[in-house]
Amino acid sequence: MKIPTNTDRLTIGECNLSDKGREAIDQWNCTVRTALELFIMINGREFTNTTFLAWLNENSTTLAIEFEKHPTKGATGGSGRPNSMKNLMSPKARSIMQTIAQNLSEGGSSASDPLVATLDSGDMKSNNTKIRRLLPSKENYLTHQNTRLLRDLELGEMLTSIERGITTQVDVTKVGRGAFNTKGSSWLNAVVRKFITSASLNSAIDPFAGQGDMLRLCEAEFHMSTSGLDIQDQLGWPINDSLVSIPKSTDSICITNPPYLANYSAKRKSMWPMVGSYYENTGRGDLYEIALDKCLEAFDYVVAIIPETFLHSNYPKDRCAIVSILEKNPFEDTTFPVCVTCWVPQTKQNPVIYVGEREVMTYSAMVGIKGDVSRSKRIVFNDPEGNIGLKAVDSSKADDRISFMQGKDFDYPRSSIKVSSRLMTYLNIPELTTEKDIRSFCERANTILESYRERSEDIILSGFKGNNKKGKRRRRLDYRLARKIILEALGESVQTTLPLE
Ligand SMILES: C[S@@+](CC[C@H](N)C(=O)[O-])C[C@H]1O[C@@H](n2cnc3c(N)ncnc32)[C@H](O)[C@@H]1O
């Protein structure tokens, strides 16, 4: 076998995909290389690019199912899955897989750790018909990986290291039932209290009642009669699957903290057999959204503690009158950033957003500040060679905040940058050519960012993993808003008002 040159190596997995292709692969939490490994496991060690690409196209549906089922480890086999698995694949997933297949036809480039080499065969018409062979040095690796990947994961078993085959078992009840109980009374601040009083209803129902702490507080504070429902039988409430339906009761106020679980987390944590059916045909991406749908169908007035990400989600807010962001954690066993939302029967609401009891602005004002900005060729995000460093998340030290800095001063390893990097990254702004340009750009961008933070009391940024050491919520800058700030710092005029949903 000849030692390959850079140009005739097939280095899929690290080859030059188009941006669209890379984005698509990234959504599966897998690489093209994972797909190639799978292909070799099934079809043998020798092949041509053309046969690999044809296989990928032919099997895109099955692969999509497999990647969906085992999102962190890639696919495990090309056939033999029952047809019912197809139900797990959303139209979005199917289109992503098709995009992957379509975008794979670009040529490969040299990779640092190639998987295959070209066989020195006499009949070579083009790069695509050259026979490739799995490198002998990779044979053991692939056999080993093959065996490990072919094992199905148990309920709640999460693969934490593909390389070392390490899995962690999550608490199935906590994760699948979202069983994090609300403790104490921090959620019942003056704003929420006023809302509950103004609803003038004498009874409260929690359709996801858990240990019933929210209901007990309502009894004590408002002298309401209360009742609850839950799916778990040992809690003593009538059993009801409230993610499927809740008995209608317009003369009671719904007071709840439903389960939260994003569908991608449910898949990553192998919880799909337990909760997957809830998401089907709802168009919702998180259990709390499905719970809200059911609560709003059954009740006129609803108070629900839900993730703060709701504010930046596209969940309809037309019945939502109030959002109060809780800085004090109302749970004893998680530090998930949450808010209390208050809902009324009348539509066309423009929720007033509070941080605790302090009024900040309306939802439409927040959307206006966030503005609308389309992709720009002037900026390349997640470029390991980029001239600007972006720390997109507050650290737990209060003075170490989100900031733009010269790439050369950012101590984050450039080799760690992936297409999926969202917290620490490098970006490239080619028009900034001198150190002086870069430095003054960073100063302008940081000033703009800080003024947005001040004007919005931080609510335009997403909450991130609890609070800093001074008790203030940590925040993350999403790349859409980052792009707006960058373009403003570059002097481009950017639309700052968006219509309400
Ligand atoms: C986050 S806990 C909250 C409990 C309570 N509302 C509180 O705030 O302390 C969610 C509760 O919802 C229940 N639950 C989860 N899925 C459910 C379902 N499909 N139908 C009814 N209850 C469910 C869980 O058993 C758990 O007790």
- Rounded to whole angstroms, the Cα distance separating 179 from 269 reads 16
* Helix ranges, 82-235 (H): 91-103, 136-149, 172-176, 190-199, 213-222
pLDDT at position 4: 36
CA of 339 to the centre of ligand 1 (A): 17
pLDDT at position 67: 57
**Residue of minimum CA distance from atom 15 in ligand 1:** 177
Q: Which residues contact 70 (CB under 8 A, 6 or more apart)?
A: 76, 149, 153, 159
Amino acid at 394: D
pLDDT at position 129: 63
| Residue 246 CB–ligand 1 contact under 6 Å | no
Q: Mind listing the pLDDT tens digit for each residue in 61-78?
A: 556 555 555 443 333 222
**Residue linked to tokens 């500040």:** 369
pLDDT at position 323: 98
Please give the number of the atom of ligand 1 that sits closest to the Cα of 260. Answer: 1
**Residue of minimum CA distance from atom 4 in ligand 1:** 210
Amino acid at 434: T
pLDDT at position 147: 46
pLDDT at position 465: 79
Please give the number of the atom of ligand 1 that sits closest to the Cα of 206. Answer: 6
Helices 60-69, 49-58: axis angle to 10 degrees equals 70
pLDDT at position 419: 75
128 CB neighbour count, 10 Å cutoff: 15
208 CB neighbour count, 10 Å cutoff: 28
Residues of the chain with pLDDT under 50: 1-17, 70-109, 123-125, 146-150, 497-501
Q: Which residues contact 332 (CB under 8 A, 6 or more apart)?
A: 181, 183
User: 176-356 in CATH: which number?
Assistant: 3.40.50.150
pTM for the complete prediction? 0.71
Q: Which residues contact 277 (CB under 8 A, 6 or more apart)?
A: none
pLDDT at position 370: 86
| Residue 178 CB–ligand 1 contact under 6 Å | yes
pLDDT at position 327: 83
| Residue 211 CB–ligand 1 contact under 6 Å | yes
| Residue 209 CB–ligand 1 contact under 6 Å | yes
9 CB neighbour count, 10 Å cutoff: 22
**Residue of minimum CA distance from atom 27 in ligand 1:** 210
Nearest-CA neighbor of 263 among 64, 465, 68? 68
| Residue 275 CB–ligand 1 contact under 6 Å | no
Whether 67 contacts 46, CB under 8 Å: no
Please give the number of the atom of ligand 1 that sits closest to the Cα of 211. Answer: 9
So where are the chain's domains?
A: 6-152, 176-356, 388-489
Contacts 24+ apart (CB under 8 A), 85-88: 86/61, 87/280, 88/272, 88/276
| Residue 259 CB–ligand 1 contact under 6 Å | yes
CA of 97 to the centre of ligand 1 (A): 34
Q: Mind listing the pLDDT tens digit for each residue in 253-267?
A: 999 999 999 988 898
Please give the number of the atom of ligand 1 that sits closest to the Cα of 183. Answer: 9
Phi and psi at residue 455, to the nearest 5°? -60, -35
